[in-house]
Amino acid sequence: MSSKKWFVLGISGATCSGKTSLANRLHKELENSVVIHQDNYFLPIDDPRHIKIEELNHFNWELTSSVDMDRMHLDILKLIESTPDEDSCSDTINKNILILDGFLLFKCKVISDLCHCKYFLTLTKDQCWERRKGRVYNPPDVPGYFEKVVWPEYLRSIDELMKDKDLCKTINFIDGSKNKEEIFQMVFTEIKKLLS
Catalytic residues: 39
Tell me the CA distances in angstroms from 17 to 31, 109, 110, 191, one per residue in order. Answer: 24, 22, 24, 20
Query: What long-range pairs does 156-159 form, CB within 8 A, spacing at least 24?
Result: 157/104, 157/107, 158/122
Q: Which residues neighbour 92 within 8 Å (Cβ) at sequence distance 6 or greater?
A: 196
Task: Report the first-to-last Cα separation within the chain, whole angstroms.
Answer: 19
